[in-house]
A = this chain, B = another copy of it.
Amino acid sequence: MGNGLLGGIEAGGTKFVLAVGSSPTDILSRHSIPTRKPEDTLAEAAEWFASQGRLEALGIASFGPVDLDRDSPSWGSITNTPKPGWSGCALASFFGKRFGVPIGFDTDVNGAALAEYHFGAGRDASSLAYVTVGTGIGGGLVVDGKALHGAAHPEMGHIFPRRHTKDLEFAGTCPHHGDCLEGLACGPAILARWGSSLSELPLDHVAHRVIADYLAQLCHTIFATTSAEVIVLGGGVMGTPGLLEKVNARARQLDKEYLPGGPKHLLAAPLLGQDSGAVGALLLAKMTSTD
């Protein structure tokens, strides 16, 4: 490490959060810009970083799907996103050329998972999944300090939960799968069938039970397939009062105390709160600068 700053970008579908820090958890300055056309958004982000001082490395935690294959010519790019104009956007190479520094790159949820694993809810765990429930549903997994890649990266929002008996009609909003988990339980899916966000619906509205059941199925599935110790649930929908407790109760009901390591399986809110994403991006910068 030299004396430069770590830079981090949490690249989201609605906004880009930019941060610089002397370490992943020592954020010196942050700035948020709306996600517009790629060229405008990237130019504005670059301008802000240029005004912050000399960068040592830059980490990018991006909405996906993304190309994480270091040997691929499109490494560090967004791939086939439904978001207009953003397919093929070469985030890593743009900033790499602009600043001439090492670029760390991963999915937004892998970044947040790394942040919570190292500095948040997973500090005492050997593995941690981070799930965001917002405009979409995504999940990342960290095992022994490393984000899981495999063939590419997990897309946990696209499993198929069992339909809740009080929610059998809705077709789902996922353009690929219809009623996969994301198509049933993301923010826009909630809005589409109940006309408002979950937090605006009365607490006795069936939507709370239905959404808790779907998210509990996801958590049970993550525990059963990966044996993750901690699942951190973040994102706008998870801000609904009481939802985390309902998901937890329902997940335990589904499991029937079967899964080995039972008490080690925990559901938690992000301990870093809104900062998981930015801390994750700075951590990606730090990890690449010390590779």
Max chain B Cβ within 10 angstroms of own Cβ: one of A80, A157, A227? A227
Contact of A152 among B149, B158, B220, B260 (CB under 8 A): B260
What's the minimum C-beta distance from A223 to chain B, rounded to whole angstroms?
7
Q: Is the CB of A261 within 8 A of B143?
A: no
Q: Is the CB of A150 within 8 A of B261?
A: yes
* A–B pairs, 17, beta carbons within 8 Å: A67-B260, A80-B260, A126-B150, A139-B225, A143-B150, A149-B227, A150-B229, A151-B223, A151-B262, A151-B265, A153-B261, A155-B227, A158-B258, A158-B259, A160-B217, A177-B256, A177-B258
Q: Is the CB of B152 within 8 A of A148?
A: no
Q: Is the CB of A226 within 8 A of B226?
A: yes
A264 is an interface residue with CB less than 8 A from chain B? yes
Q: Given the interface contacts A176-B258, A254-B160, does A148 sit within 8 Å of B226 by beta carbon?
A: yes
What's the minimum C-beta distance from A228 to chain B, rounded to whole angstroms?
5
Copies of the chain in the assembly: 2
Interface size class of A (residues with CB under 8 A): 35 or more
What's the minimum C-beta distance from A186 to chain B, rounded to whole angstroms?
15
Max chain B Cβ within 10 angstroms of own Cβ: one of A126, A150, A159, A162? A150
A22 is an interface residue with CB less than 8 A from chain B? no
What's the minimum C-beta distance from A143 to chain B, rounded to whole angstroms?
6
Nearest B residue to A129 via CB reads B225
Nearest B residue to A179 via CB reads B162
Partner-B contacts on A (CB < 8 A): 64-67, 79-80, 126-127, 139, 141, 143-144, 146, 148-163, 176-177, 217, 220-229, 254, 256, 258-262, 264-265
A67 to B227, CA, bound (A): 13
Q: Is the CB of A258 within 8 A of B228?
A: no
Q: Is the CB of A261 within 8 A of B151?
A: yes
Q: Is the CB of A155 within 8 A of B220?
A: no
Q: Given the interface contacts A159-B220, A162-B162, A221-B159, does A227 sit within 8 Å of B151 by beta carbon?
A: yes
What's the minimum C-beta distance from A110 to chain B, rounded to whole angstroms?
10
Q: Is the CB of A224 within 8 A of B162?
A: no
A264 to B139, CA, bound (A): 20
Residues on the B chain within 8 Å of A265, using CB: 151
Max chain B Cβ within 10 angstroms of own Cβ: one of A66, A148, A158, A225? A225
